[in-house]
Amino acid sequence: MMEKSSVEIFDENYSIVRRKIADAAKKAGKREEDITLLAATKTVDVSVINHAIESGIEYIGENRVQEFLSKLPDYSPVHKHFIGHLQTNKVKDIVGKVELIHSVDSYHLAKEISKQSVKNNITSDILVEINVGGEDSKYGFSPENAKEGIEKISLLDGVCVRGLMAIPPICETPKQNIKYFDLLYKLFVDIRSQTIDNSNIDILSMGMSDDFETAIECGATMVRIGTALFGRRNYNI
Ligand SMILES: *Cc1c(COP(=O)(O)O)cnc(C)c1O
């Protein structure tokens, strides 16, 4: 049998993912349109990404600055986000080129985004990354320090905090992630209810291929999905 092409794999998966999002949204008492599907496109060829965009994908997220910049001239029109760990010295390369940076994992990084944004006369929308499982291998603010961190970041010029992002620990089943998603949702509601200058908190970015339905049921407004759309590939986050 011939192997399926990347485009065929996407076509099969896309309708399934959309239906699952719609079902989970309904369970959460929301409409399908209330949930933003962001396609995580690391290692995916631009031709396949553009096919996905033609098929209805409106948001994409890339992980690596070099890869993003090399694909940038060729993307069809789409909302472009940065979702990977961002080194401070690379900030200048992407500020102004992406609509949202999901992965602001330190005050130091936020400060550099601020500096480059002010230099370019723009405001950068950012999410603050939470290391919700307290894992050494992951970046981000601990849930305990999140509020203080966000307040501090919000004082910087040229950045607007739009919400939270997290990659919970890998769990055997999506159900085991509920405690992390619940904690993140609580934190989200908590900071959203405060009036913090230079913030406009309305995005909770959590849920990936293996757990996005659970994440939506727990209050995610944006899910980042790679494998469930494009199939398995080799990469490290
Ligand atoms: C790769 C990646 C995803 C998507 O992961 P899948 O399990 O392939 O859906 C989501 N978020 C981030 C930050 C990623 O790097």
Q: What is the pLDDT of residues 137-161, one digit of tens each?
A: 999 999 999 999 999 999 999 999 9
Q: Which atom of ligand 1 is nearest to the CA of 42?
A: 1
What is the number of structural domains in the chain? 1
Please indicate, yes or no, if residue 221 is contained in any of the structural domains: yes
- 101 ligand 1 Cβ < 6 A: no
Kindly report the CATH number assigned to the domain that includes residue 26.
3.20.20.10
pLDDT-derived band of residue 234, with 50, 70 and 90 as boundaries?
A: low
**pLDDT of res. 236:** 46
Bigger pLDDT: 172 vs 208? 208
Q: For residue 154, what are the contacts with CB-CB under 8 A and spacing of at least 6?
A: 161, 196, 197, 198, 199
Average pLDDT, the chain: 95
Q: Is residue 1 part of a domain?
A: no
* Domain presence at residue 201: yes
User: Does 14 fall in a domain?
Assistant: yes
| Ligand 1 atom 15: residue of nearest CA | 237
pLDDT at 123: 98
User: What pLDDT is stored for residue 170 in this prediction?
Assistant: 87
Domain membership flag for residue 236: no
pLDDT of 237 reads 43
Residue to substitute in 68, 83, 132, 204 for testing ligand 1 pocket (most ligand atoms within 8 angstroms of CB): 83
Decide if 89 is inside a domain: yes
Distances (CA, A) of 129 to 27, 60, 164: 26, 18, 6
- Per residue in 7-21, pLDDT (tens digit) is 999 999 999 999 999
Q: How far is the CA of 1 from the centre of ligand 1 (A)?
A: 30
Distance, in Å, from the CA atom of 16 to the CA atom of 171, rounded to the nearest integer, reads 22
Residue 198 belongs to a domain: yes
- Does residue 219 belong to any structural domain of this protein? yes
Q: Which domain holds residue 25?
A: 6-230
